[in-house]
Structure 1
Amino acid sequence: MKRTIFLRYLTGALLALGSSFACADNYPSKPIKAIVPFAPGSATDQIGRAFAAKMAESLGQPVVVENRPGANGMIGADVVAKSPADGYTLLFGTNSTNAALKSLVKNLPYNQDTAFTPIGYFGSVPLIVAINNDVPAKSLNGFVSIAKANPGKMTFAYASTSQRVSSEMLANDAGIKMTGVSYKSGPNAMTDLIGGQVNMFTADFAVTLPQVQAGKIRGLAVTSLKRSPAIPELPTVNEALGIKNYELIAFFAAFGPAGMPKDAVLKLNKAINDAAKSKELTERFASMGFETQPGSPEALGQKIKLETDKWAKAIKAAGMEAE
């Protein structure tokens, strides 16, 4: 009798083990949902959709992008943090969702350090400091002079953490006071910059560069340490103001809920790296200063730790406090 029971348990265990291996081998067996925590048309959305299409080619299943904008990416990130860790709900996150929010929000609805599984790194882009054409400044130094003469009267738009922190850092480093205006999306903020409702907007190339090139706004500087090949005539913030060590770039990467199966993580990572190496994708986004950097899930995990520390220091230096 005991032997019969033991054999039943053994058979059940072997069947369960075989089933788990079969599930792992069959992943993905249905469409994957990728949450973009920012609005359609944003850099995260454009880059995310391009990666999703390439990933689908490698995985043999659609990767369906769903936009969940709001609260600097927190709303979309929270959806993924609370989703099943089965590999079918991903976060196409950024420095906002996976590095900076920890220092900006007192009561995050999830633990940023433990809520996600790092999967794969997409790449990074610098930002452009731009102003409305009616602002009588032809350079960043000129804009700073106007702001110094009118403390608190110059306004800047922001719809993400990188946009806000970059502007606050700039104000801190330049010794000026500006008033921030929050927007739900980058495209909405850009509309108001063009219309003159705000004076300055520091945002990624996807949102700013086309408008700068069309003459609808005036680009003053880029936020990277080196000038961008996409618009080499613009100086860096460091060059424009005669300072050192100002740098703020946005990055993009894929994450899943904590506890994802290793096999699924590795398959997704390979699909992301294949996309990052795609000539079609890299050439498509070269104009926005996008640089890919394929790597392992472990490398992304280490990068997130370093970026979280970096953004904490940047936020503190900008005089910002968690709200």
Structure 2
Amino acid sequence: MRFIAGLVCASAASLAFAEFPDKPITLVVPFAAGGPTDKIARDLAEALRKPLGQTIIVDNAIGAGGTIGSAKVARSAPDGYTLLVNHIGMATAPALYRKLSYKVPDDFETLGLINEAPSVVIGKPTLAANNFAELRQWIAANGRKVNIANAGLGSASHLCGLMLQSALKTTMTSVPYKGTAPAMTDLIGGQVDLMCEQAVNAVPQIEGKKVKSYGITSLQRLSLPALKDTSTLSESGLKDFNVQVWHGLYAPKGTPAPVLAKLNSALLAALKDPELIKREEALGLTVVTDERLDPVNHRKFVEAEKNRWAKVIKEAGEYAD
């Protein structure tokens, strides 16, 4: 009888997985509505709706540099109905936060990388330097007098700024803000000197000649008209400098393999959606098409990024409690 009962339970479980998803899925975004990650998540939600055949609800669970939303997913039922879209902060949080309520990547199932986005080193409009060589000399001469803005601890601009200082072997004065908008406002107004910001946010200001552009943080130049004359930092002397903001899709640890397989398959289909690709490219983003779409390779990538950034953050000594 126990054997028969076991077969019945196994069959019921298999049927449940086969029918997944049979209700709406919640996509948690650990950042505020209207920001880059929120925009990416909402576009992805629409593209995932087609292969999954269900509504995808976006839930902005904000706070503590993205760790509140991430913790929410880590504690969620491992049934595939609560997912997380997070950026590079997934890999940097373990080094930035002394008290983190979850482990990366141990408390998550990796489903695949979504995209990558380079940043641009930009400066206030009155800065005397007109190219990166001149900027580098100016930074060397002024050191800690140079103010470099960021959108807050753990933000893309903060991390890029740390990596830039590490590559230049110098220390500037970091000026954290509560978001990209106020940081950009003060940069335009000349209250701070520099910022290393995602291209999607920097390009409109460059086009309007409100800030100066000094270098792209990826290994390849960008084809965007506003940056056609801007070299990569690697080309400009910081060999192999490559800092890109990436986004990935995650589920709680213990989510059943059949469910994970369906979610990964849906992600692969979504990232081939012409409308999604068009929207990503308009934001200066590149949809991932390489081996990091595979959950195992996605996990390896997160581990490598975690180790890479731990060294940079430790050297900078910038932590949160």
State the distance in 2 between where 1:56 and 1:68 align.
21
Provide the identity percentage.
Answer: 31
Deviations 1:275-323 (A, max 9, x none): 111222222222443222242212212222222222234435x534544
| Residue identity matched to 2:33 | P
Q: Is the 8 A contact 1:129 1:202 kept in 2?
A: yes
- 5 Å matches for 1:72-91? 72-91=65-84
Q: Is the 8 A contact 2:149 2:183 kept in 1?
A: yes
State the distance in 2 between where 1:77 and 1:117 align.
12
Q: Which moved more, 1:10-19 or 1:28-37?
A: 10-19
1:174 is displaced (CA, Å) by 2.5
**Greater C-alpha radius of gyration:** 1
Q: Is the 8 A contact 2:115 2:285 kept in 1?
A: yes
State the distance in 1 between where 2:181 and 2:55 align.
27
- 5 Å matches for 1:1-323? 7=1, 9-97=2-90, 99-159=91-151, 160-230=154-224, 231-240=227-236, 242-294=237-289, 295-316=293-314, 319-320=316-317, 322-323=319-320
State the distance in 1 between where 2:281 and 2:110 align.
25
**Structure 1 residues 206 and 322: CA distance shift in structure 2, 3 A:** same
State the distance in 2 between where 1:195 and 1:88 align.
45
Residue 4 of structure 1 aligns with which residue? none
TM-score (norm 1): 0.88
Deviations 1:140-177 (A, max 9, x none): 33333333343323222223443222212222332443
Q: Is the 8 A contact 1:126 1:249 kept in 2?
A: yes
- Structure 1 segments unaligned to the other structure (5+ residues): 1-6
TM-score (norm 2): 0.89
State the distance in 1 between where 2:24 and 2:198 align.
30
1:75 is displaced (CA, Å) by 1.8
CA RMSD between the two structures: 2.1
Q: Is the 8 A contact 1:42 1:187 kept in 2?
A: no
| Residue identity matched to 1:56 | R
Q: Which moved more, 1:43-52 or 1:165-174?
A: 165-174
Q: Is the 8 A contact 2:149 2:175 kept in 1?
A: yes
State the distance in 2 between where 1:31 and 1:183 align.
36
1:101 is displaced (CA, Å) by 1.5
Q: How many residues align?
A: 313
1:132 is displaced (CA, Å) by 2.0
**Structure 1 residues 120 and 172: CA distance shift in structure 2, 3 A:** closer
- Structure 2 segments unaligned to the other structure (5+ residues): none
**Structure 1 residues 151 and 307: CA distance shift in structure 2, 3 A:** closer
